[in-house]
Amino acid sequence: MPRSPQPVLETVPNVSDGRRPELLDRLAAAASAHPGVALLDASRDPDHHRSVLTLAGGAGPLVEALVALVEIAVDEIDLRRHRGAHPRIGAVDVVPFVPLAGTSMSEAVAAARELGRRIAERFSLPVLLYEEAATAPHRRRLADLRRGGFEALAGRLADPLWRPDFGPPRPHPTAGATAVGARFFLVAANAVLDTGDLVIARAVARAVRESSGGLPAVRALGVPLPSRRRAQVSMNLVDYRRTPPAVAFAAVEREAAARGARVVERELVGLVPEAALAGDDPATRALADLWADRVLERRLDAG
């Protein structure tokens, strides 16, 4: 039997619902039903009110799978009633494409632009391109596109600086807008503290994130976890080559300890590239053991 073509792209759609497991199941089933698409991971968080799926495949099959996923999300999610800890502008909030080994970034950019065009036309959904797919330097950073959230979106899209790359210059009434991009691998890692004090979590996040003078290529927020009566430092490591996960967690632990708190759990959202866990130091080995079943390359091999 011929072997399936090697996946060339990874995509990690983030959907603004983390409280309905049945919805996540339907999203995953719709996306993975397309030939040539592998579902590598799916997870949800009720406090963030967000679900994250990881898919891999060729550009064409992935675009078709994502169109099917967006259709369900647009039908099912009403952001006017959405309240969660994670920033968001859309029912399908963000869809990045990541080139796998042997694939160029230009292929990821082309897939991002094709998906953006398709979902804008089909669902009357404003689409903003970001990172390597961005059409202007000031539109590269996802945080800048998402500033103010869904509630501020109408005013943002009316500004010529933030006019959508595809779709109408106004939010979809219930599904908002979607950011579609192409980027390097991102490691989404959370540190759960032994306190529910959001002031402490926000201070720790401010200390470690790059924009406040902290670690390079680290973006961080302090967020509440009401269901667990904890606070969390939620991090995006946008270039693990500059700040590996073990270094980021060590910094969070130091900053938390300085404020009388401890890290009690280290969470990974989605998958992690094997190279992000390379190293012989004890902290890196401990993370490699903790996340052994969440390594991207192993999931790809298993698929």
Instruction: Please tell me the CATH superfamily of domain 9-182, with its number.
Output: Formiminotransferase, N-terminal subdomain (3.30.990.10)
Which residues are known catalytic residues? 86
State yes or no: pLDDT of 181 exceeds 80.
yes
pLDDT digits 0-9 by tens, 83-108: 999 999 999 999 999 999 889 999 99
Tell me the two tokens of residue 155.
């005013």
- Residue 1: the pLDDT is 33
- Residue 303: the pLDDT is 67
- Residue 5: the pLDDT is 60
- Residue 2: the pLDDT is 37
pTM of the model: 0.95
As assigned by CATH, the class of the 187-302 domain is alpha beta
Buried/exposed code over 200-222 (b: 16+ C-beta within 10 A; e: otherwise): bbbbbbbbbbbeeebbebbbbbb
pLDDT digits 0-9 by tens, 186-208: 999 999 999 999 999 999 999 99
CA neighbours within 13 Å on the CB side: how many for 185?
21
- Bridge partners for 191 per DSSP: 233, 266
Nearest to 294 by CA among 52, 14, 28, 30: 52
How far apart are alpha carbons 281 and 30 in whole angstroms? 41
How far apart are alpha carbons 125 and 166 in whole angstroms? 8
Same fold, 9-182 and 187-302: no
Percentage of the chain surpassing pLDDT 70? 98
Confidence of residue 138 (pLDDT cuts 50, 70, 90): very high
Report domain extents, the chain.
9-182, 187-302
